[in-house]
Amino acid sequence: MRDFDEAFNRVRSAVNADRGRIVVTGRTDNFIQGRPDLVDTIRRLTAFAEAGADVLYAPFPPDRDALVAIVTAVAPTPVNVLASPGDKVLTVPELQKIGVKRISVGPMLSTSAAY
C-alpha cells in the first residue's frame, strides 16, 4: 500500500493527464490490506476527490456503518461498491438509499457461470 502523499500524487497525475478521456478512480485498499482504519480510508478518499477523481473506491468496508461514513464524507463524489457473493451484500435499493452511485460485480459473473 502506498503512503498517503504518493497515493495522492498518483491520482492527481492521472486526473491531470486524463483531460476527460477516462474515468479516474481514487482507490484505497486499507480494508483488504489488513489496515481497517476508517479514518485513514476517509482521509485518502477525500483527498482523491479533491484531486479530481471521478469515482472513489475502498473495497470491502467492514460493515454498513463504515460504508455510510465513507459515502457521507466524500459526497458528492460517487462511491463504488463491489458486489461479492458470500459477503454480507446489501441489496441495490439499500445501496441506493445509502448513496452508493456505482456497483461493480468484479469476477462474480464469470465465477458464477457454469462452464
Tens-place pLDDT, residues 15-26: 888 676 889 999
pTM assigned to the model: 0.83
Q: Regarding predicted confidence, which is higher, 81 or 86?
A: 81
- C-alpha 44/C-alpha 47 separation (Å) is 5
CATH match for 4-14+22-109 among 3.40.720.10, 3.10.580.10, 3.10.20.30, 3.20.20.60: 3.20.20.60
- pLDDT at 91 (0 to 100): 85
115 contacts: CB under 8 Å, gap ≥ 6: none
Q: Kindly state the cell numbers that stand for 112.
A: 458464477
